[in-house]
Amino acid sequence: MRDLDHQVITQALAWVREGHPIWLCTVLSTYGSAPRGPGAMLVARRDGRYVGSLSGGCVEEAFLEELIAGDFCRVVTLRRYGESREQSRRLALPCGGVLEILIEHRAPDAAWLAHLEVLHQALHGQRRLVRRVDVEAGAFQARDDDVAEGPGVVRRPASVDIRIGPVLRLLLAGLSPVAEACARFAQALGHEVIVCDPRPEMREDFVAEGVTVVPQLPSAYIGAGGCHAATAVVALTHDPRIDDLAMIEAVRTEAFYIGVMGSRRTSDARATRLLRSGGLSQADIDRIHMPIGLDLGSKTPAEIALAVMADIVRVYHGKARDAL
């Protein structure tokens, strides 16, 4: 899940708590080219207010026109956009693309509010869930997701399963020019960004709206449960007192990506140090990306940050280096 979908569920919760009926839209499938894939969400009210994205603009406009006109009164509607020749011309979907959308019209009752709260918790990393929606009766439920990998949406004859998981979290272990550039890239990608640094002189010059700044050692924050399975931990300070301790704690977590900046020589020395005095095993060392990032020939802080974030995205999507 990305931060935009977190915003959708957060807004849905707020509107339901205020007593508004809502329409929750989920992309079920795409044919041809589409800006957003299965699982992407949008929430709207009858007055046209909405949060989220289904296609980057054109489908949203068509859906909102129909909604304001009084359509979608059923509890569940399945709608394809871009399928007819007239729709394709009007919506201008790229490459003749077609989107199938699940549209849920939900009243602000206690059961729906409780369901949204569970989804909100999942997006914060507490659980991985599968939403099941009955496309005929409109019934809904959420259960724990016990499958490590799989498609975001699974269609069945009478129901649809939608996987809900935590927003990707970037945990920056200490501030540096590279870390600051990583924070900006990660925000643009829709990730949650947390910066841990105990040094007041570094924190006072760091300003980034939407970034959580924690004034403590990264190792302490990680050891206290600051990581979940969708967390990338990166140490980019060149200060072993920060970087090494962060690595020692990070390998004890479920973080999907752990990396630390340094040359090949520095990385070899760090690996030896962590094995001898850090109490790590070779398996722990093998989890750490060092040197960190893709080899793009990066020189400037922004270029290094780009290489780091590109490598995180690669690992998150299960892409091998030799497949690039």
Look up tokens 């699982």; give the residue: 39
Maximum average pLDDT range among 121-135, 148-162, 185-199: 185-199
Q: Is the previous residue joined to 21 through a cis bond, with omega within 30 degrees of 0? A: no
Q: What confidence score (pLDDT) does residue 113 get? A: 97
Across residues 50-60, what is the average pLDDT? 84
Name the DSSP class of 135.
T
Q: What confidence score (pLDDT) does residue 54 get? A: 87
Local confidence band at 17 (pLDDT 50, 70, 90 cut-offs): very high
Q: Over 50: is that where the pLDDT of 1 sits?
A: no
**CB-CB neighbours of 88 under 10 Å:** 16
Across residues 176-194, what is the average pLDDT? 92
Q: What confidence score (pLDDT) does residue 261 get? A: 94
* Exposure string over 113-149, b if 16+ CB within 10 A, otherwise e: eebbebbbebbebebbbbbbbebeeeebebeebeeee
CA 227 from centre of chain: 14
Q: What is the mean pLDDT of the chain?
A: 89
pLDDT in tens, 192-227: 899 999 999 999 888 778 899 999 999 999 999 999
Q: Over 70: is that where the pLDDT of 34 sits?
A: no
CA distance 53 to 35: 9
**CB-CB neighbours of 79 under 10 Å:** 18
- DSSP E strands in 54-113: the ranges are 76-81, 98-106
Q: What confidence score (pLDDT) does residue 95 get? A: 47
Nearest 5 degrees, angle CA 250-CA 308-CA 27?
90
Q: Over 60: is that where the pLDDT of 191 sits?
A: yes
Report pTM. Answer: 0.72
Q: What confidence score (pLDDT) does residue 97 get? A: 67
**Of 60-64, 122-126, 241-245, 319-323, which gets the smallest average pLDDT?**
122-126
Q: Over 60: is that where the pLDDT of 148 sits?
A: no
Strand partners for 141: 132
Helix or strand holding residue 30 (H, E): strand 22-31
CA distance 186 to 233: 12
CA distance 183 to 187: 6
Across residues 40-49, what is the average pLDDT? 95
Q: Over 80: is that where the pLDDT of 68 sits?
A: yes
Q: Helix, strand, or coil here: 297?
A: coil
CA 19 from centre of chain: 28
DSSP β-ladder status, 288-289 and 257-260: parallel
CA distance 175 to 201: 10
**CB-CB neighbours of 76 under 10 Å:** 19
Architecture of the domain defined by 169-323: 3-Layer(aba) Sandwich (3.40)
Q: What confidence score (pLDDT) does residue 88 get? A: 44
CA 298 from centre of chain: 26
Across residues 314-319, what is the average pLDDT? 88
Q: Helix, strand, or coil here: 221?
A: helix
Across residues 157-171, what is the average pLDDT? 90
Across residues 270-278, what is the average pLDDT? 92
* Domain assignments of the chain as residue spans, ordered by start: 3-164, 169-323
Q: Over 70: is that where the pLDDT of 181 sits?
A: yes
